[in-house]
């Protein structure tokens, strides 16, 4: 009898079936990479905001600015801290205000409150720098989607509202 070289048809079919099963189980893990990247980017911005706020509050405490009130108060009562940039950071009870200008200045990223601008991040500002604001990454759903049940991929930053409160950072990544 002559010795056979190569694979039989059954062996080839079995290998193709095994590869198909592996592809079906592994593909969803790779397809979801964009969503995971957006969620991680939101978490990274949250960490940057927290770090910047810690440094700003420390400087405010050292200079006696941490007791200075709300953005709705008279401008003479607002805090201001030199953070080493060309512009001092306006503070609300020692923490960063929730405006595009203040957050851009402190974190050194491009944030715009106009969707028509070219920016890395967009912000839906509150009524003033003391109110909650939502930050959206460029390319994700933004502006007006904070109350809907879809297209929710943003950070809500709420500045301190009194001497005893601290800022809050909430990542909403349901639909990233």
- Of 33, 53, 40, the C-alpha closest to 155 is 40
Give percent above pLDDT 90 in the chain: 26
Q: How confident is the model at residue 70 (pLDDT cuts 50, 70, 90)?
A: low
**For residue 74, is pLDDT > 70?**
no
Give the residue-averaged pLDDT of 67-89: 74
- Residue 90 predicted with pLDDT over 90: no
* pLDDT (average), residues 84-92: 87
- Of the two residues 151 and 21, the one the predictor is more confident about is 21
Residues comprising the chain, all counted: 176
Higher per-residue pLDDT: 152 or 159: 159
Residue 1 pLDDT grade (very low, low, confident, very high; cuts 50, 70, 90)? low
Own/partner pairs for 70-76, CB < 8 Å, 24+ apart?
A: 70/130, 70/161, 71/97, 71/128, 71/129, 71/130, 71/159, 72/128, 72/130
| Model pLDDT for residues 111-146, shown as the tens digit of each residue | 988 877 788 898 888 777 788 998 988 877 665 555
Higher pLDDT, 55 or 26: 55
Widest Cα–Cα separation across the chain: 102
Does residue 133 sit in helix, strand or coil?
strand
Is the sign of the CA dihedral 164, 153, 137, 99 positive or negative?
negative
Dihedrals phi, psi of 55, to nearest 5 degrees: -65, -40
- Sequence-separated (6 or more) residues with CB below 8 Å from residue 121: 45, 109, 110, 111, 112, 135, 136, 137, 138
């Amino acid at each position: 009898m002559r010795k056979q070289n190569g694979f039989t048809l059954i062996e080839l079919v079995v290998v193709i079936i095994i590869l198909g099963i592996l592809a079906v189980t592994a593909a969803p893990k790779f397809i979801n990479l964009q969503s995971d990247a957006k969620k991680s980017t939101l978490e990274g911005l949250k960490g940057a905001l927290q770090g910047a706020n810690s440094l700003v509050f420390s400087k405010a405490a050292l200079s006696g600015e941490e007791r200075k009130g709300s953005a709705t108060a008279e401008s003479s009562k607002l805090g201001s801290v030199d953070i080493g940039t060309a512009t001092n950071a306006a503070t609300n009870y020692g923490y960063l205000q929730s405006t595009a200008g203040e957050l851009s200045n402190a974190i050194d990223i491009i944030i715009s409150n106009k969707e028509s601008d070219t920016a890395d991040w967009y912000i839906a500002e509150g009524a003033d720098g003391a109110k909650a604001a939502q930050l959206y990454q460029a390319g994700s759903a933004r502006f007006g989607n904070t109350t809907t049940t879809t297209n929710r991929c943003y950070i809500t930053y709420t500045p301190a509202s009194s001497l005893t409160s601290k800022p809050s950072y909430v990542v909403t990544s349901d639909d990233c």
